[in-house]
Amino acid sequence: MNAGIQNTQFKFPNQTGHYKGKVRDVYFFDDKLIMVASDRLSAFDVVLPNAIPFKGQVLNQIAAHFLKATEDIVPNWILAIPDPNVSIGKKCEPFPVEMVIRGYLAGHAWRTYKAGKRTLCGVSLPDGLKENDRLPEPIITPTTKAAVGHDEDISKQDIIAQQLISLAQYEQLESYTRALFQRGTELAEKQGLILVDTKYEFGLFKNEITLIDEIHTPDSSRYFYLDTYPIHQEKNIAQRQLSKEFVRKWLIEQGFQGLEGQKIPLISAEFIQTISERYIELYEKITGVKFIRSTQNEMLNRVEQNILNWIETS
């Protein structure tokens, strides 16, 4: 398989800055930004050494699909998609928290619960739940947005106390988060999936709260298969899921959770291909659209030229 896009180092006309995130490279302009979705893979807030072919395209196109499908709920940052791996949009001032919402007891929430804790981000959880059970109602469990290292759980009360966001702004973010999760849940059900949990990021553009980054992708969300969910829960069988949780579980089995002193395990070519195929499977399953693999030859040249074409004509 092709090695994918690992890094970009473009220089565009009127570019004012460049930022390399965990999986995206962002190029800044006066009031716009260009986001290139690389094929890097992040788990436990650590970027793994191997690129995953087509992962960036999958994330970029799923995000574009769902931003379009939710633009009636909240304004979003997207202006154009000039390349399968590129989104161009409004340059917003991001809020320093991520709005995580959970409908089921899975992933980090389950690991916390299993450890005996019954409060997550200030939200109380009932006793007697098992892994992947549906919660009585969706809960919002925000995290801080770390520039480097691990994001940290934080409660609504601490967000307000630390003046990270005003109370009025936070309540609006909560309202948007619940509405987006409800829409995402409905769209997932139409495709035979359950939207288990996800996260949303928001910012301000000209003082207007705006949905930014990606939504409902396998990097930001977890999905179960709707048809097998009830029987798997009844029989205590692991849920079939479409997310990158399977990567996290594999890493845990290899003794890696991103902790200090731990060494990232060697990832085989076969497992890299498996990850790539799982991302493509999610794209087709969640959108209901056949995935068209982008040209893999001279990928960086293709991306750069498509961006330059947009700049010249916009």
The pLDDT value recorded for residue 149 is 57
**Residue of 271, 220, 213 lying closest to 48 (CA atoms):** 271
212 φ, ψ (degrees, to nearest 5): -125, 175
Q: Cα dist. 193→9, 15, 53, 243 in Å?
A: 38, 41, 24, 12
H or E stretch covering 94 = strand 93-94
> Domain boundaries in the chain?
17-93+269-313, 94-246
**pLDDT for 148:** 58
Q: What's residue 238's pLDDT?
A: 92
Number of H helices, E strands in the chain: 8, 17
Sequence-ordered list of residues with C-beta below 8 angstroms from that of 143, at least 6 positions apart, any chain = 97, 98, 100, 121, 151, 152, 153, 154, 199
Burial classification of residue 102, based on how many CB atoms lie within 10 Å of its CB (0-12 exposed, 13-18 middle, 19 or more buried) = buried
Backbone dihedral region for residue 59 (phi beyond 0: left; psi -120 to 50: alpha; all else: beta): alpha
Provide the CATH number for the domain formed by 17-93+269-313 in this structure: 3.30.200.20
Q: Tens-digit pLDDT profile for the chain (314 aa)? A: 456 899 999 999 999 999 998 899 999 999 999 999 999 998 888 888 889 999 999 999 999 999 999 999 999 999 999 999 999 999 999 999 999 999 999 999 999 999 999 999 999 999 999 999 999 999 999 999 866 556 799 999 999 999 999 999 999 999 999 999 999 999 999 999 999 999 999 999 999 999 999 999 887 899 999 999 999 999 999 999 887 878 988 999 999 998 888 999 989 999 999 999 988 988 999 999 999 998 777 899 999 999 999 999 98
Question: 218, 60 in Cβ contact below 8 A?
Answer: no
Q: What is the pLDDT of residue 295?
A: 79
Predicted TM-score of the model (pTM): 0.88
Specify burial of residue 263 (Cβ count, 10 A radius: 0-12, 13-18, 19+). exposed
Nearest to 153 by CA among 196, 123, 197, 198: 123
Q: Which fold has domain 94-246?
A: D-amino Acid Aminotransferase; Chain A, domain 1 (3.30.470)
Tell me, what's the pLDDT at 241? 84
Quick one: DSSP state of residue 218? T
H helices within 120-194, ranges in order? 156-161, 167-190
